[in-house]
Amino acid sequence: MEPPKKSGPPRRSGPGGPRRPGDFKTGGPNPSGSRPARPPFRKAKTAPAKPANPHPARAAAAASGKNEPQRIAKLLARAGVASRREVERIIEEGRVTLDGEVVTTPATLLISLHGVAVDGVPIAAPAPARLFLFHKPSGFLTTERDPRGRPTIYDKLPADLPRVMPIGRLDMTTEGLLLLTTDGEFKRQMELPSTGVPRTYRARAFGEISQNQLEDLFEGIEIDGIRYGQIEANLERRTGRNQWIEMTLTEGKNREVRRVLEHLGLQVSRLIRTSYGPFHLGELPSGAVEEVRQHDLIVFRKGLKIPKP
């Protein structure tokens, strides 16, 4: 007698249920009978778009693995030849050559200054930027030369100082901290209002003024159609009708401190710049020069807010 068959659902023969004829063939790619896993979907990578006809200097830089080319005016400014604006004037005068050919536009793109000369003198690769603190005395112009023969800061600077350019300007009768640099590009960055480097002045002024009036300058002020931005001003001390006022601003427009105080009815008799960014006049004697340590300059430049071109 045959044993009774067990009731219940039919037994599954391996994963996927009972196999049917033809589920697999001997020697096939999947003899286990299970469905092969699909490979994960990957989006095809597209190559970045390249300009159809790149500038020759950019193509040469890409082929050699060198840095992106830059305008010749910027490279010459960084090399300390002059400020970028002055370099553009020098180029317009036909005084700059590249491999013996006169450069006709400051927009010429170069990888380096190799083969570039100014007034026939080859330009060496730019050295690391240097920065000097100069206590400018009153009575000197912040310029290289004056057609009227008036004294300039270069008449006062030490003879052994490298070729430097002033960062910003101080009026002839304004004294105090003036920054000097060997790097024209650094000079340009520091002078831009959008960089936002604060400058602090102390002004001795004659007239009547209150702290509340000075605090209103924090919102900015418009004088003769010119808008002056935020100014932080404090009344330090008063002697009779003379008072010392400290003012901190970030734009540094032409004669800004004098014009604002004169607009408030004050007569400025003395104006001293005491700081520019983290650099302070301190006890530096009038007419003296002091170099900023290279480490301090590098740290400052790393944190400098560079505006987008």
User: Could you give the residue numbers annotated as active site?
Assistant: 171
From the centroid of its chain, how far is CA 187? 9
Terminal Cα-to-Cα distance of the chain (whole angstroms): 99
Residue 304 near residue 198 (C-beta atoms within 8 A): no
User: 231, exposed or middle or buried, with CB in 10 Å at 0-12, 13-18, 19+?
Assistant: buried
Measured in degrees and rounded to the nearest 5, phi and psi for residue 205 equal -135, 150
Q: Can you count the helices (H) and strands (E) in the chain?
A: 7, 17
d(CA 254, CA 275) in angstroms, rounded, equals 17
Nearest CA-CA partner of 144 in 185, 89, 203, 71 = 89
From the centroid of its chain, how far is CA 262? 33
Measured in degrees and rounded to the nearest 5, phi and psi for residue 181 equal -135, 160
